[in-house]
């Protein structure tokens, strides 16, 4: 599963340059019977071309990011925004992004004391306890977070403390956190910036499949991070553009934005990997968005919503012009590596990418420079938490561009082995195994590999991603959660 079950922007110092403290979002159409919806025109803003619908043919979701059903807080149910206010904010988002809504936009607000209940219902509508347990088992087995971490509570606590607003692709609506009911005349500038950012996410949901992908993706955190960075960078750039149109300063440079974000207080209570997955998508995504716009204008931003980068590596190591590197997505098929005949069965799986390898090295005591160097050269990874005949076990297979890269990562892993852990290397591959029988280790090192040229190819190979997103959205429309939603 993804590590951040709601796409909600944080009220962090990074938002000071924007004058906002938004939440990650994306509206597109309000559900029938929901108040607070206003219909906008179809098509691309300022042009006669037909608006893009789902550029990939069969869209879907996730973690870094997933987001789900918005229920009512027990004491403070969501209330609709005034239609006049929503209409004005939606028009600003359309002008800033250059896209138009194809249907009604849903938007509600809750008081701060109602936020925890709203977020809890969002989380629980998309993830069951079994989903969280699988994610906890994988991350704990690999040492990415401490034993006993309650992932649901950690995410919920962080978002309750930091969220000023968010967009839920599950119900396709904007949620703002407001101390008082808003006036039709407008909100405070900070909150208007939050709303515009989140409404840009709604436009993304209307014109691309990426939010649906995040919603359905539950076993590839690195792909979720890359998609989340594209969405956040795109929305940040549009929100900065809106700020300039309202009389504020021009959009900051990526370096200035990253510097300001770097001054934000860290979430020390979160494990490093979760912290990095949450924070780094903002500066990396914003740098990618500004480079794409500089190279190809808004058409390049639109193209990225259809064909995004597929890994954290593509964002951490961009081309010389700053745009994300284009590379196929490696898939190391540990699930198909014949581990079960060796007496093991998979409990949960994930892929963490270069960002995850770097966090692993840091957690194992490597310096920042050593961790970056050891993780560079990533060319695919897959991790499994297992139940074997001899007890619980785990395996993490990482593949690198060259044998020298594999040697460097293996040296870091070998120097920090835990009791019962084995580090093995075969050519460009490194295996970290904990309590895994020798036969299963050999099978894992020889796991078959596939490469997906783009997101469309990945989704064609894994139709369950889109199917999960569709089940969740249909269940949200009926006010429930589908049975077996977390199953493979």
How many Å apart are CA 142 and CA 393, to the nearest integer?
10
pLDDT at 430 over 70: yes
Domain map (residue ranges) of the chain: 8-325+464-477, 329-452
Secondary structure E strands in 372-476: 378-388, 391-400, 421-426, 429-434, 449-452
Helix (H) and strand (E) counts in the chain:
17, 13
How many Å apart are CA 101 and CA 378, to the nearest integer?
39
| pLDDT one-digit tens code per residue, 436-449 | 888 889 999 999 99
Residue (of 158, 114, 139) closest to 6 by Cα position? 158
How many Å apart are CA 25 and CA 463, to the nearest integer?
24
Q: Residue 276: pLDDT band by 50, 70, 90 thresholds?
A: confident
| pLDDT one-digit tens code per residue, 374-417 | 999 999 999 998 888 777 888 999 999 999 999 999 999 999 89
pLDDT at 22 over 70: no
Q: How far is CA 435 from CA 141, 147, 172, 363, in A?
A: 10, 16, 44, 20
Helix H or strand E encompassing 75: none
Q: Decide: helix, strand or coil at residue 71.
A: coil
Strands 104-110 vs 37-39: parallel, antiparallel or unpaired: antiparallel
Q: Which residues of 315-344 are buried (b: 16+ CB within 10 A; e: fewer)?
A: bbebeeeebbeeebbbbbebeebbbeebbb
| pLDDT one-digit tens code per residue, 370-386 | 999 999 999 999 999 88
Q: In the prediction, which pLDDT does 268 show?
A: 65
How many Å apart are CA 355 and CA 351, to the nearest integer?
10
Q: In the prediction, which pLDDT does 262 show?
A: 67
pTM over 0.75: yes
Q: How far is CA 354 from CA 170, 195, 202, 357, 470, in A?
A: 29, 33, 29, 5, 30
Q: In the prediction, which pLDDT does 255 show?
A: 95
Q: In the prediction, which pLDDT does 406 show?
A: 98
Residue (of 198, 227, 225, 222) closest to 212 by Cα position? 227
Which one has a higher pLDDT value, 341 or 402?
Answer: 402
Q: Decide: helix, strand or coil at residue 123.
A: helix
Number of Cβ within 10 Å of residue 403's Cβ equals 14
Q: In the prediction, which pLDDT does 78 show?
A: 87
Q: In the prediction, which pLDDT does 73 show?
A: 29
DSSP label at 468? H
How many Å apart are CA 334 and CA 31, to the nearest integer?
40
329-452 has which fold?
A: Protein Transport Mog1p; Chain A (3.40.1000)
Please count the residues of the chain: 488
Q: In the prediction, which pLDDT does 467 show?
A: 95
How many Å is the maximal CA-CA distance in the chain? 69
């Amino acid at each position: 599963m993804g590590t951040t079950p709601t796409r909600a922007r944080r009220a962090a110092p990074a938002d000071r340059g924007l004058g906002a403290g938004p939440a990650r979002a994306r509206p597109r159409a309000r559900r029938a019977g929901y108040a607070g919806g206003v219909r906008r025109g179809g098509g691309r803003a300022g042009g006669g071309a037909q608006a893009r619908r789902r550029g990939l043919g069969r869209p879907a979701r996730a973690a870094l990011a997933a987001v789900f059903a918005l229920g009512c807080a027990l004491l403070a149910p969501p209330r609709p925004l005034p239609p006049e206010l929503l209409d004005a904010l939606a028009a600003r988002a359309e002008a800033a992004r250059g896209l138009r809504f194809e249907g009604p936009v849903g938007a509600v607000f809750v008081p701060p004391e109602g936020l925890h209940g709203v977020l809890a219902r969002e989380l629980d509508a998309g993830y069951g306890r079994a989903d969280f347990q699988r994610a906890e088992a994988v991350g704990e087995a690999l040492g990415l977070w401490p034993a006993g971490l309650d992932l649901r509570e950690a995410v919920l606590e962080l978002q309750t403390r930091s969220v000023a607003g968010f967009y839920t692709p599950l119900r396709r609506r904007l949620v703002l956190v407001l101390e008082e009911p808003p006036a039709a005349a407008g909100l405070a500038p900070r909150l208007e910036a939050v709303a515009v950012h989140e409404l840009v996410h709604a436009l993304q949901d209307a014109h691309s499949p990426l939010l649906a992908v995040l919603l359905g993706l539950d076993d590839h955190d690195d792909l979720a991070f890359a998609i989340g960075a594209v969405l956040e960078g795109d929305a940040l750039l549009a929100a900065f553009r809106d700020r300039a149109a309202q009389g504020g300063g021009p959009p900051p440079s990526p370096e200035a934005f990253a510097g300001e974000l770097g001054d934000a207080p860290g979430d020390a209570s979160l494990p490093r990997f979760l912290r990095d997955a949450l924070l780094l998508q903002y500066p990396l995504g914003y740098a990618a968005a500004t480079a794409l716009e500089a190279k190809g204008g808004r058409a390049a931003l639109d193209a990225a919503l259809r064909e995004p980068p597929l890994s954290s590596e593509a964002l951490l190591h961009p081309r010389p012009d700053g745009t994300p590197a284009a590379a196929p997505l490696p898939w190391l098929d540990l699930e198909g590596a014949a581990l079960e005949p060796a007496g093991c069965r998979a409990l949960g799986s994930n892929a963490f990418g270069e960002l995850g390898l770097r966090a692993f090295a840091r957690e194992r005591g490597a310096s920042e420079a050593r961790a970056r160097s050891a993780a560079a050269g990533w060319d695919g990874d897959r991790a499994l938490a297992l139940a074997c005949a001899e007890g619980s076990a785990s395996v993490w297979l990482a593949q690198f561009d060259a044998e020298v890269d594999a040697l460097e990562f293996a040296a870091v892993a070998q120097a920090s082995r835990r009791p019962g852990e084995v580090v093995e290397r075969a050519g460009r591959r490194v295996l970290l195994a904990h309590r895994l029988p020798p036969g299963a280790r050999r099978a894992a090192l020889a796991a078959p590999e596939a490469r997906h040229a783009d997101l469309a190819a990945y989704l064609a190979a894994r139709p369950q991603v889109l199917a999960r997103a569709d089940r969740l959205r249909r269940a949200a429309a009926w006010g429930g959660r589908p049975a077996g939603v977390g199953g493979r």
